[in-house]
A and B are shown apart, each in its own frame.
Chain A
Amino acid sequence: METKTQTPGVVKDKRPLFYGLGFGILFGFLLHKGGVTKYDVIVGQLLLNDFTVLKIMLSAVVTGMIGIYFMKSLGWIKLSLKGGSVGMNVLGALIFGVGFAVLGYCPGTIAGAIGNGYLDAIVGGLIGILLGTWIFAVMYPKLKDGILKMGDYGDITFPRLFKVNDWVVVVPVAAMIILLLLWIERSGF
């Protein structure tokens, strides 16, 4: 079934592509400054010797969460949530984790590692990731109604799950993350 949303002859707005590129440049710049375009830093985190990755992620989550929920409460933005299931987010994420440790980069940081000049990221990791996503696309018809649907819970958030006001979750989660970061610092990492 086709629906025509564009008038023929009218050029599609390309501005979103430039915004995407701009956000990417800033994101890549930050990833490099954070050191997470490097295998040693990422695997150092997984070996629990270097907590840079967790410090970056948790401080991004606290900052992002407060701003996003503030803007949501003002009606400026809408959330953009991913659906999920036990099959996807437990089994799929464990598979991802294995690949994360074997490769030593993830999809975002490998783009950063390529920009940083690491050849194992360009020649090895990038080819592997493209192949892996293709294998998933080939297998998708067999997976989509089975394991991917197992224990489906849709695109729910914790405030909706607990049927409470957003801030009843945001505030304690922010406090817990900050305490965790303080504890990591005090432990000398």
Chain B
Amino acid sequence: MITVFTDVSWSPYAVGIGIGVLSWLSFLISGKPIATSTSFAQTGGMIERIFTGEKASKRPYYQKIKLNVNWQMMLVVGVVIGSFLSAMLSGDFKTGIWVPSLWAGAFGDSALLRVIVAIFGGIILGFGARFAGGCTSGHGISGTLQLAVSSWISAVFFFIGGILTAHLIFYVIA
């Protein structure tokens, strides 16, 4: 029984079913679907508010999503903790890894290059997540499982954009 928790990985189906059951509980107990990307926008707004105060609070988008610590933000913090716990229990916690091996195989092991590209990718991802109104969890899992039209279209186009870009990066640019 204990070895289940110390295994580095589980069957993707066990994980998927687990996430599905978690979504039942999240609806039943909190009345909310599992989602993450709004929290990044709220955090960004709170950081701007430290520097510009009113100017940030008055932005129409921040008035719409509201800048306060909420359920979803705590969920994102929980994801960091949960992943850390699983990684520690299974001896998979990484220290000093700046460059993923797949990236290193194509573009070398420069940490600076990888970080610059990651920042650039993050900007596009964060912008796109708010543009689409959700991400791989909010649209891709929670929205599709509710059979929302907006979420099915988003999930399909997340992967169309992702698959085309990944092929361009690894088979054309590299």
- Do A and B associate with each other? yes
Interface residues of A (CB under 8 A from B): 16-35, 37-40, 43-44, 46-48, 52, 55-65, 67-68, 71, 76-86, 88-104, 106-121, 123-138, 140-141, 143-144, 148, 153, 155-159, 161, 166, 169-170, 173, 181
Residues of A within 8 A of B12 (CB): 34-35, 52, 55-56, 59
A contact patch SS: helix
Given contacts A25-B82, A137-B59, contact A16 B161 (CB under 8 A): no
B154, chain A: closest CB distance, angstroms: 4
Asked if A88 contacts B132 (CB within 8 A), the reply is: yes
Given contacts A88-B132, A97-B164, A129-B129, 19 further A-B contacts (CB under 8 A): A25-B81, A30-B19, A43-B102, A56-B16, A59-B16, A61-B145, A64-B142, A80-B33, A80-B142, A82-B150, A85-B150, A89-B157, A95-B132, A101-B165, A102-B121, A112-B80, A117-B84, A118-B100, A133-B41
Most A CB contacts (10 A, CB to CB) among B30, B122, B150 go to B122
A189, chain B: closest CB distance, angstroms: 11
A98, chain B: closest CB distance, angstroms: 5
Asked if B161 contacts A101 (CB within 8 A), the reply is: yes
Asked if B148 contacts A157 (CB within 8 A), the reply is: yes
Asked if B125 contacts A103 (CB within 8 A), the reply is: yes
Contact with A137, one of B118, B125, B130 (Cβ below 8 angstroms):
B130
Given contacts A93-B161, A100-B161, A155-B150, contact A26 B82 (CB under 8 A): yes
10 closest A-B pairs by beta carbon, nearest first, are: A24-B78, A128-B122, A97-B161, A84-B150, A132-B126, A63-B20, A28-B82, A124-B118, A59-B16, A99-B125
